[in-house]
Amino acid sequence: MSGKGVTLPRHLLQTQRAQGEASGEFTALLTQISLACKVIAREIGRAALAGTLGATGTVNVQGEQVKKLDLLANGIMVDALEESGLVCTLVSEEMDEPLHFGKACERAKYVVCFDPVDGSSNIDINGVVGTIFSIRRRTGQGPEHVAADLLQRGTAQVAAGYAMYGPSTVFVYTGGDGVNGFTLDPTIGEFLLSHEGIRIPGRGKTYSVNEGHVHRWDPQTRRLVEHLRTADRATGRPYSLRYVGSLVADLHRTLLEGAIYLYPAEGDGAKPPAGKLRLLYEAAPLGFVAEQAGGRASTGAERILEVQPTSPHQRVPLLIGSPEDVALAEEFHQGKR
């Protein structure tokens, strides 16, 4: 199954057959998500001409400005997942409450959490953005399971991944058996296998963080970043800084080249320090992808995949990337350095 020319649906089918999964539902669900991503890619590509750049003028449950493309992409994902008939409940960054499809999807097996347009501050400048998704099985049938379905740890994910809308559109996913990346060939409208069995380098040469927020960091994070930019030839320092401001793009670079990405807890004295990124549809899915590529994802104190969710839009600090770099960052966070 190696080599170019393998479409995403074919790759999914072959992998599922090899694992003895015969129902085809998982393949159908991933294919449907990838179709939604192709439609989102098209909408992003023509947004400046279609008049869909800019803000809607509303603010979401996170207190963030909603862009027109956020809403458009959210609708595309919701419609695609509802049509699949395979999903009973959704959580989206752009919806205050989880959406339960009710009777029509009573027998559906899956719960999906997603961020339709991640990095939306890049939309209006034609910068790279992405879509992140996370798939879990239901814990049981009936409305009494809805809350428990959503608040499962990242370790319960059966698949997760992202689409990245850059110079090319890529679709990267894990089903718990490594990470594979596909590139959209627009001439045939298919995602073709282009990055088979992605493995993250053990350590990198770059760090990625919004350094303008240094005044809101705790002393451990300041010392870590100071360490990374201090020259020491033996350990390959100083690291260079790379920061797109789209988690998907920063993570994609991190996976391919090795590095550390961090969005630490931030505080301004008024409220307790907190992370920005959301557990269910940002940190946990990308943590699953990173681990499946041989990397690590941590809050500094705890493995991301083991954090027990307590609410759908919960935020966490995130350290993610090459295993040696994340281990070093954890040492700083835990006061061992």
Q: Which stretch binds Mg ion (CB under 5 A): 42-50, 77-85, 112-120, 255-263?
A: 112-120
The packing angle between helices 284-292 and 247-257, to 10°, is 10
CB-count exposure of residue 249 (10 Å: 0-12, 13-18, 19+)? buried
269-308 footprint of Mg ion as x/- string (CB under 5 A): ----------------------------------------
Instruction: Report the C-alpha gap between 157 and 173 in whole angstroms.
Output: 12
Beta bridge partners of 206: 240
Contacts of residue 69, defined as CB under 8 A and 6 or more positions apart, other chains included, come to 43, 44, 47, 52, 53, 117, 120, 123
Q: Which of Mg ion, ligand AHM, none does residue 64 bind (CB under 5 to 8 Å by kind)? A: ligand AHM
Q: Return the residues of window 117-146 that contact Mg ion according to CB under 5 A.
A: 118
Which CB sits closer to ligand AHM, 175 or 317?
317
Q: Which residues lie near ligand AHM (CB under 6 A)?
A: 64, 93, 115, 118-121, 210, 245-247, 250, 276
Tokens 């919004």 sit at which residue? 210
Minimum separation from the CB atom of position 120 to Mg ion (A): 7
Total residues at the site for Mg ion (CB under 5 A)? 2
For the chain, give percent helix, strand, coil, nearest 5.
Answer: 40, 25, 35
- The option from ligand AHM, Mg ion, none interacting with 246 (CB < 5 to 8 A, set by class) reads ligand AHM
- Residue 245 binding partner per list Mg ion, ligand AHM, none, with a CB distance cut-off of 5 to 8 Å that depends on partner kind: ligand AHM
CB of 230 to ligand AHM, least distance (A): 23
Beta-carbon count within 10 A of 185 CB: 16
Query: Which of Mg ion, ligand AHM, none does 121 bind, CB closer than 5 to 8 A by kind?
Result: ligand AHM
Stretch that binds Mg ion, among 107-115, 153-161, 183-191, 232-240 (CB under 5 A): 107-115
Q: Which ranges of the chain does DSSP label H, i.e. alpha helix?
A: 8-18, 25-45, 47-50, 68-84, 146-150, 219-228, 247-257, 284-292, 323-333
Output phi, psi for 306, to 5 deg: -100, 0
Interface with Mg ion, residue 115, by CB under 5 A: yes
Q: Which residues pair with 163 in a beta bridge?
A: 131, 171
Smallest gap from residue 118 Cβ to Mg ion (A): 4
Rule CB under 5 A: which residues touch Mg ion? 115, 118
